[in-house]
Amino acid sequence: MDEANRIAELLRKTYCGEPWHGPSLRETLVGVTPEMAYSQLSGGLHMISVIVDHIAFWMEIVRQRLDGKIVEPEPEDDWCAPTEMTENAWDKTLARMETAFESLVNRIRVLTPAQLESPASGKNYDNYTMLHGIIDHNVYHSGQIALLRKGLIQRK
């Protein structure tokens, strides 16, 4: 298996497979109801829905950068508060994340070794580093979701 496919497989495992560290991101979200997704624990912690939207947002950005676009998101485009807190809105947030994941993993699979070594669009690091970064990013936020989920369940 070439390096691009190994990276795509690592992203897949951490998103919906069996990663070495514990549950995948998708597993962490099993059982999260819209009520839980839009609940907030004390201390100014993000809602689960906001974290899921943030994960999707950054997978979309990485995908765009792999396509050669120089993307510098504005702070107000990231960590957006939900405008609607319904079951339908939660389903759309989950669907956005799924679409972003599928698009990114499919794009990674066709990268050449030269493209992996190339600088990420507009950045001082290469695509290889960026791709490992998005995997780390997703795992980090998956852990946050797991802790929030546990806190919300215990609060009941």
The pLDDT value recorded for residue 156 is 67
Sorted by where each begins, the domain ranges of the chain are 3-155
pTM score over 0.85: yes
For the CA atoms of the chain, what is the radius of gyration? 16
Q: Residue 71: is its pLDDT beyond 80?
A: yes
Yes or no: say if 107 and 63 are a contact pair by the CB < 8 Å rule: yes
CA distance 115 to 109: 11
For 5-27, the pLDDT digits (tens) are 999 999 999 999 999 999 999 99
Q: Does domain 3-155 have CATH number 1.20.120.450?
A: yes
Q: Residue 43: is its pLDDT beyond 90?
A: no
